């Protein structure tokens, strides 16, 4: 899947590849690429909401609904650069509906 990302006057495309979706639809993995960064992300749901883990980057954080770009971008920008936070939040927005 392809998603367009923007920051100020800069535009770029990010790609999302989803795999390892579990049987109950609560957890899955995705490979997200954009602007030179590659993230192997684990997305899931637990008793307090949704989460994102990117073990290779030492990142783990709570998420809102996957299509809540603003909240997720704000949360992720505390862990990665603004560009990477935009890439991740836009990519996650495409994945709403995979977690049930």
> Cβ(13)–Cβ(28) under 8 Å?
no
pLDDT of residue 100: 54
pLDDT of residue 22: 79
pLDDT per residue as tens digits for the range 24-77: 777 899 999 999 999 999 999 888 889 999 999 999 999 999 999 999 999 999
Q: Look-up: residue for tokens 């392809």?
A: 2
pLDDT band at 23 (very low <50, low <70, confident <90, very high): confident
Mean pLDDT within 70-88: 96
What is the end-to-end Cα distance of the chain in Å, rounded? 20
- Copy the structure tokens of residue 53: 């883990």
């Amino acid at each position: 899947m392809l998603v367009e990302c923007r920051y100020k006057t800069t535009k770029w495309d990010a790609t999302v590849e989803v795999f390892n979706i579990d049987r109950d639809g609560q957890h899955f993995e995705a490979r997200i690429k954009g602007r030179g960064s590659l993230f192997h992300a684990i997305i899931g749901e637990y008793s307090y909401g949704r989460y994102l883990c990117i073990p290779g980057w030492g990142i783990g954080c709570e998420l809102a609904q996957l299509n809540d770009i603003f909240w997720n971008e704000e949360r992720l920008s505390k862990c990665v650069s603004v560009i990477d936070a935009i890439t991740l939040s836009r990519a996650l927005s495409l994945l709403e509906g995979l977690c049930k």
